[in-house]
Chains A and B, each alone.
Chain A
Amino acid sequence: MLNPEATLRSLLDVGLDHYLVLSALLFVIGMVGVLIRKNIIVMLMGVELMLNAVNLTFVAFAHFAGNANGLVMTFFVMVIAAAEAGVGLAIAVAVFKRFKAVNIEFFENLKG
């Protein structure tokens, strides 16, 4: 951090760290989405963003270690995330049909 030339060189030499930082940023952005948004479906989209960040981590490790286990894990995470998105959307649709609202503050009290 104190040596500008070394910092510049490490910035330009794209390695595993860069992909991990990108993935961490995406994860935190997804987390922020889940925290501050009030619409159920947008919160689901934040979760999808977090899962994609995790996928990026796995693929980056698989590439830089030459190991195919990371890709297998990515495959599984992708399938499970797609299934979970389907279930979440089905629940959101059912909730909307019953209560006519998708704003999560409407559901903050557990009394039905």
Chain B
Amino acid sequence: MGSDIFEIGVNFAKMAAVFLLMVQIVPMLVWVERRGSAYIQNRFGPNRIGPLGLMQLLADAVKFLTKEEFVPESSRRFIYYAAPVIALIPAVLAFGSIPLSSPVEVEAFQAWGRSWGPYVFPFQAFEMGIGIVFVLGISSLGAYSLLMAGWGSHNKYSLLGALRASAQMISYELGLGLALVGILLVYNTFSFSEIINAQTGALKFSWWGQPQTVAWLPNWGIFFQPLGALLYFIAVFAETNRLPFDLPEAEGELVAGYHTEYGGFKMNMFYIGEYGHMLVASALMAVFYFGGYQIPFLSGAELKSILGQFGYSPTIVSLLAALIMHLALLLKILLFLWIFIWVRWTLPRFRYDQLMDLGWKTLLPWALANTVITAVVVYVMRVAWR
């Protein structure tokens, strides 16, 4: 946690800030979804409350909070109440381990009679050396909230919806993991910071052992793993139960699937969990395939030297560079979230057997093929000439 009180305090504040960031993006995301879907469907969205309908979410939150809390009489109480909470926890934990910007370096300063040493604060809630494996493991715990919600409601339709949803989730986790193995092969590391740092500058690859540079393309992961990126994107739609894979929670199919018996604020927590998972998925897409928080063609050191010309102290320079790169990451995340919303209101829904066929008979073989081809290409082009 830190060696002295300043570091511990900043780390605590960082954890709270990252959690609040995730929770605050969710209302904005719901607004974007409602207005965006209205725009796609050629109608107005909510536009009466507040300018452009921005306060609609506040009104909705008040509505949710003041609704009558009902509990089905024969439900299993503890599991029924615990399921929405457990829906939120994996998303928050996974979001906390993704680096949101470059580390902030605070140089030694004097305050209150003692000197506080130089610190380096990574711009994430906590740092894990095994970033990818941890995020995969934590997001696979999301299946429990579905199962607990379905079973705790003591309702046949909820149980069926929950079993379908969790079966879908664990089927697509395989494709997801295998698509990410391609990234591991290319970048040789589990940790997110190293993957992001390897995506600076212009596109550099080795062609039969000779390093080549393409100056007009950024050094992003998507150029190394195009098939992997596509497979990851499809798998992550199914992981977050988003259309076109949202049969388990579709209205009109199984009443409302696993959250039939939830109303009021408990259902809101399910939605926060779902949008939280979407946020984590978009952040991972940006980190693995689109350079993370790096601005294309401008590495962190160059940005800091540009900012240093204004005569700020190194602490302020590092903080400003981190904020600018954080904005770059947020832009990329917002782009992917918009694509999520766009796809939702464009494509029709898959039937359940089509969904499982796609996961096992299409995605998994292609992901395996991607792994094999990546391994062969990496060996022939890079490793064999060392």
A–B contact with Cβ pairs below 8 Å: the answer is: no
- Interfacial residues, chain B to chain A (CB-CB below 8 A): none
- Interfacial residues, chain A to chain B (CB-CB below 8 A): none
